[in-house]
Amino acid sequence: MELFSGADRVFVARGRNIVVHDADGDCRPELLSQIIGPGGNLRAPTLKVGDSFVVGFNEELYEDFF
């Protein structure tokens, strides 16, 4: 979570679903469960863009974000 501490938003893509988290302490357990993969590592790809993070891949999210 230290990596995400300065983020304004974290976009998590899981298949066709996209969840947007404001990086505050209130969503910490839910955010952790979504950004950590089954092997216990940070899901890939993970990109830092400005003050935001994009975790996972979703073509529509990438088209809108970039």
Over residues 11-65, the pLDDT tens digits come to 999 888 999 988 665 567 888 888 998 899 999 999 998 889 999 999 999 998 7
* Domain layout of the chain by residue ranges: 9-59
Over residues 1-17, the pLDDT tens digits come to 677 777 889 999 988 89
Alpha carbon distance 4, 29 (integer Å): 13
Q: What phi and psi, each to the nearest 5 degrees, are found at residue 52?
A: -120, 160
Give the pLDDT of residue 29.
Answer: 80
Are 1 and 14 in contact by the 8 Å Cβ rule? The answer is no
Give the pLDDT of residue 2.
Answer: 73
pTM for this one? 0.82
Alpha carbon distance 10, 39 (integer Å): 21
Give the pLDDT of residue 31.
Answer: 86
